[in-house]
Amino acid sequence: MPGRPRRRPVTLLALALALAAAAACAPAPSAQPESAPPNHPAGVGLVDESPFWVDPQSDAARQVAAWEAQGRNSDAQVLRRIADRPMALWGPAGDPGPEIRRARAGARAAGRTLVLVAYNIPYRDCGQHSAGGARDAAAYRSWIGAFADNIADTKALVVLEPDAIAHLVDGCTRADHHDERLRLLSEAVDRLKRNKNTRVYLDAGNPAWIPDPAKLVGPLYEAGLDHADGFSLNVSNFQPSEAGREYGATLSKATRGKHFVIDTSRNGDGPLQGNREQAWCNPPGRALGTPPTAGTGDPLVDAYLWIKRPGESDGTCRGGPPAGTWWPDYALGLARRSTDDQS
């Protein structure tokens, strides 16, 4: 799952001197709002005021029902801090159609926006915990076509291929795969944007991964940023929202004002301190962040989203199950540690 610390970035041919100039012109942190809206309470019984769809069949919702049946009512109530919030649906590998159609029907009936993640690029995750993806370019084109076809004209927000671009910049993805990946991403943006009600955000890593956002500008444009609605930050990571806003504002200026979304699913207490090599995977002591909302109080931030589904494992570390697998004990810890003043 996205979110691990990354290797030293490499220089890409696409990064010209103009990018350095763009970065030099980026706003200082003082250009950000003096204060951001505090996290809304993640308490039990709150009415969801976001425009995004809540999945009644999420793992968290099913866990709540199971615990209530077992008489674990206190734990079930705490877990509703996750189950009652909108989270992104990650399109399944193979045939994404059935799950997207199920979610599409629910979102349309509720009059809400569907949040989706497309995460199936070939050579995904450099063969690490979330290795996999489509077997080749042709398979990916077929998969992203089915992904887009099943969204149809439903209101949707798609986060496109977490890690894919940052892994080009940090040198993790082999150089002979770069051109194909950028071409596939650009084609995916164009295909998704043929849907009249779909917004697309290309993933741009997180502030702790690629410290100099100028290094992302060239690859983002080669990947179709001109046609996308913006970029996403902090997917599956724990960086504070303030850091995401400052980093995003710098990258936005270098990309001629592109907007962005921030994953706040698990950043309520920020990243685990200490060894960064160990901080990305199922870190203990973390908390839920700002519940999903389009009311960010920042004109550049289109939404705070729970892109990583809280409670799904980062990988087989610290006793966790494989990446993407529901882990109820970890989910309960995230929910219990949530407070009204997360940031």
Task: List the catalytic residues.
Answer: 125, 163, 314
Residue 325 near residue 75 (C-beta atoms within 8 A): no
Name residue, tokens 């505090």: 38
Residue 195 near residue 156 (C-beta atoms within 8 A): yes
Look at residues 21, 7, 42 and name the one whose alpha carbon lies nearest to residue 289.
Answer: 42
Q: Please count the CA atoms within 13 angstroms of the CA of 313 that sit on its side-chain side.
A: 16
Per DSSP, the residues of 36-55 read: PPPPPP--TT----SSBPP-
Name residue, tokens 């929202």: 241
Q: How far apart are CA 54 and CA 63, in angstroms?
A: 15
Q: How many CB atoms are closer than 10 A to CB 224?
A: 23
What is the b/e burial string over 49-58, where b = at least 16 CB atoms within 10 angstroms of the residue's CB? Answer: ebbbbbbeeb
Residue 277 near residue 320 (C-beta atoms within 8 A): no
Q: How far apart are CA 88 and CA 305, in angstroms?
A: 8
Q: What helix, strand, coil percent values describe the chain, rounded to 5?
A: 35, 10, 50
Q: How far apart are CA 107 and CA 105, in angstroms?
A: 6
- Tokens standing for residue 279: 């901080």
